[in-house]
Structure 1
Amino acid sequence: MELTLRLITRDNWEEAIQLKVKEKQKDFIASNLYSIAEVQFLDQFIACGIYEGDQMVGFTMFGVDPDDGNYWIFRLMIDEKHQGKGYGYAAVKLVIEEIKRRNTAQIPLVMIGYDMENGGARAVYKKAGFLETEIAPWGEQLAAYTLKAEVH
């Protein structure tokens, strides 16, 4: 499995909005259409398709939140047809690597928030190295991944 990230553009946004999570997961994440609209107003965020080869299998949106100065993964989803193949974990690791590549300001944390009933997300983020911190005012479980400072 070789996943890659590609920016959402006029060439692939319609493909991204066709991706869907399982019915029982729909309350856990905003639609990709909403996320593509939202990212237009978030200066330091990008939206990407998660690809295996030329097939988009998922979607993510991440960037620096001006409220706390940390990186945040606001969205990460794998299409229902591609779940259970290890893409979720691989995608989280891929996004972390992309954040490390972009992190010229040496921001120390990547944050994520997820519904406490979303056991799948909790397991994937824990496996990827996120540590749960607190419950956000909006009710989600927050978790942090500490970016290692590069030694030169």
Structure 2
Amino acid sequence: MISLRSIDQNNWEACTKLKVKKDQQGFIASNLYSIAESKFFPHWKTKAIYWEEELIGFAMYGIDGDDGNYWIYRFMIDEQFQGLGHGKSAMKLIIQDIESSEDRTDIIWLGYDPDNEQGRKLYARVGFQESGMASWGEMLAKYSFC
């Protein structure tokens, strides 16, 4: 059973200790950096991803101030829990959370390193469609509720 829980005083340090595989480390900012960054953007949600009572991942998402759309800024599953379907389940929960939000937008954007083949496959499996390269070098993909 996968669930999303808010980052709070009880789990933030454990979230900072989650790690992706060595070959994925260049694809995502650290969870410590993301948690700190979220304090300057209070409309961004930070979520701990749990499998039953075990902390297995981290996500950060919210409305982008530049384009007014929801963006999934960070998403990671700890190296020990990858390849078990948890990423797909957690991403579906994030999409459901955004869809049920009062400030929901019609699309969700995310960007990822074009060399992140594992991420590309995961995002495609849950319904994201690539839309081209961003000026900052990431592949952009969007999920549409329509």
Distance 1:51 1:106 in 2: 24
In the alignment, is residue 92 of structure 1 matched against residue 91 of structure 2? yes
Which string of whole-angstrom CA distances, capped at 9 and with x for unpartnered residues, describes residues 46-67 of structure 1? 1010001111100000000011
Distance 2:104 2:4 in 1: 22
- Aligned AA (2:115): E
Residue 79 (structure 1) aligns with: 78
Distance 2:104 2:14 in 1: 34
| Deviation at residue 43 of structure 1 after TM alignment | 2.6
Find the residue that maps to 2:32 and give its secondary structure.
Answer: helix
> What is the number of equivalent residue pairs in this alignment?
146
Find the residue that maps to 1:59 and give its secondary structure.
Answer: strand
Scaled by the length of structure 2, what TM-score is found?
0.97
Distance 1:106 1:31 in 2: 27
1:53-132 correspondence runs (5 A):
53-102=52-101, 104-132=102-130
Mark the CA change 1:55 to 1:43 in structure 2 (over 3 Å): closer, same or farther: same
Aligned-residue Cα RMSD (Å) equals 0.9
Residue 145 (structure 2) aligns with: 147
Find the residue that maps to 2:100 and give its secondary structure.
Answer: helix
Structure 2: where are the runs of 5+ without partners? Answer: none
The percentage of counterpart residues that share the same residue type is 46
Which string of whole-angstrom CA distances, capped at 9 and with x for unpartnered residues, describes residues 33-78 of structure 1? 0000000011310101000111110000000001101100000000
Structure 1: where are the runs of 5+ without partners? Answer: none
Distance 1:106 1:36 in 2: 22
